Amino acid sequence: MRLDKFICKSTDLSRTEATILLREGRVIVNDEVITNEATQVHENNSITLDGQVLTPRPSRYIMMHKPLNTVCSNVDDSYPSLFRYIDIDNVSNLHIAGRLDADTTGLVLITDDGRWSFNIIRPTKQCEKVYRVSLRDPIADDVASKFEHGVQLQGEKSLTLPAKLHIVNAKEVLLTITEGKFHQVKRMFASVGNRVVALHRQKIGGISLDIEIGQWRYLRDDEIKCFGS
């Protein structure tokens, strides 16, 4: 964990305030004054601020049902941030493990544990994400086979990794992918001559969405353990 994040997780200071204190030489890590906010530290290190031992708060793990026309960002953009829906302390210390576009709804995982979220987004983990996809045109018979073998996305050097397609009806499918390329689902269907008109993520790894749109809840212990914490 970055030292400035460790300080924020152990105090009520903002990232800017933590950086100022570091530059003033008021933070000691394992008996050494550290002024670089990007220094990597661990919870087992001895870290003090003005002589007071810092102890980080327990990490938080949250599921949210992202509404349409919200952005996966800590600040508002063209659309409001989804964090407007989460009323808890120190919300600015949280980050999103796997963002969704503004026009995509569904499951978003939120945490302040960087190692945990890394296990979700790290390509080598091949974490499965399941999307419900509404299409402009009826799905062609050969699309499942094409996705299973990988398709060429515009601007990419390699084929997509194998993906699983389950047909719900002619214009609605469930797509399971293990990557997170930019606009990947939309680009995959564009590569086979179709167009996504609505997109909803309903599962990440072993965690399934089970709350109403706009709602959030803390993850259970068994859900947290899906990604190694």
Residues marked as catalytic: 101
User: Half-sphere exposure (CA, 13 Å, Cβ side) for 116?
Assistant: 22
Length of the chain: 229
Q: How far apart are CA 145 and CA 165, in angstroms?
A: 9
Distances, alpha carbon 74 to alpha carbons 24, 79, 95, 96, 176, in Å: 28, 12, 7, 9, 27
Instruction: List CB contacts of 40: < 8 A, sequence separation 6 or more.
Output: 1, 2, 3
Nearest to 177 by CA among 118, 120, 130, 116: 130
Question: Angle at which helices 15-23 and 3-10 pack, to 10 degrees?
Answer: 120
